[in-house]
Chain A
Amino acid sequence: NAGVMQNPRHLVRRRGQEARLRCSPMKGHSHVYWYRQLPEEGLKFMVYLQKENIIDESGMPKERFSAEFPKEGPSILRIQQVVRGDSAAYFCASSPLAGGPNEQFFGPGTRLTVL
């Protein structure tokens, strides 16, 4: 059973370009979460999605950032017109369908560098 997969592992963009980060959850998991980690910091929640629905985007900047989790295919975190401050590690986590507290399993992350 493969774990959470993210690609690319490393992404370099120039200011003003777009960044697309992909996440495939663990098999059988229907909940996806995106977190951002700045150097020497803990992870900060961005957005929580289920298939075709955004459940909680309270941690995501209102502008330039968007996320989706379509019926088919991976979840995508999209950052438009990137700026240097967007440089960070972006982690995706997934959890199984569950009615109570649930454990989130993380992917290896995408390290975004904005030049």
Chain B
Amino acid sequence: GQQLNQSPQSMFIQEGEDVSMNCTSSSIFNTWLWYKQDPGEGPVLLIALYKAGELTSNGRLTAQFGITRKDSFLNISASIPSDVGIYFCAGQNSGGSNYKLTFGKGTLLTVNP
């Protein structure tokens, strides 16, 4: 089956720094999504990408859909303490009746005030 490699596994940064994390896949996806999960909660959708090469921003977050359709990255600029959490990438191949998401293992972000 499809596998996603997400890196880094964890990051410890100072408030105000920029952060970058990425996901690579063994096969093609036609949609990439980035989620954030706080402890004890469900994942919250941050950004959705639908086209190869697409670059999308949501406030201080920017994500890109790789041109090969096998990778995506997420950047967070000027990090703040509430950015702490686990960030997951997820790939989707919609079509027919199958819309399941394949998730990476997550990047744990810690922000030191």
The answer to whether A and B belong to the same complex is yes
Contacts from A to B (Cβ < 8 Å): 4, 6, 31, 33, 35, 40-45, 48, 55-56, 58-59, 91, 93, 95, 100-109, 111
Residue of B50, B88, B101 touching A104 (CB-CB under 8 A): B101
Contacts from B to A (Cβ < 8 Å): 4, 6, 30-31, 33, 35, 40-45, 48, 50, 88, 90, 92, 94, 97-106
Determine the distance from Cα of A104 to Cα of B102 in the docked complex, in whole angstroms: 12
Chain A residues with CB under 8 Å of B97's CB are 48, 55-56
Q: Give the 9 A-B CB pairs with smallest separation, nearest first.
A: A42-B103, A106-B42, A45-B100, A101-B31, A101-B94, A43-B103, A42-B105, A55-B97, A108-B42
Pairwise interchain contact B88-A100, C-beta atoms closer than 8 A: no
A33-B99, A102-B99, A108-B42 known; A42+B30 contact, CB < 8 A: no
Determine the distance from Cα of A17 to Cα of B82 in the docked complex, in whole angstroms: 39
Closest residue of A by beta carbon distance from B31: A101
Determine the distance from Cα of A33 to Cα of B104 in the docked complex, in whole angstroms: 17
CB distance from A52 to the nearest CB of B (A): 14
A103-B48, A106-B44 known; A59+B100 contact, CB < 8 A: yes
Pairwise interchain contact B45-A33, C-beta atoms closer than 8 A: no
Closest residue of A by beta carbon distance from B49: A101
Determine the distance from Cα of A85 to Cα of B30 in the docked complex, in whole angstroms: 33
20 pairs, CB–CB < 8 Å, chain A vs chain B = A4-B42, A35-B101, A40-B106, A42-B103, A42-B106, A43-B88, A44-B103, A45-B100, A45-B102, A48-B97, A48-B100, A55-B97, A55-B98, A56-B97, A104-B33, A106-B35, A108-B41, A108-B42, A109-B40, A109-B42
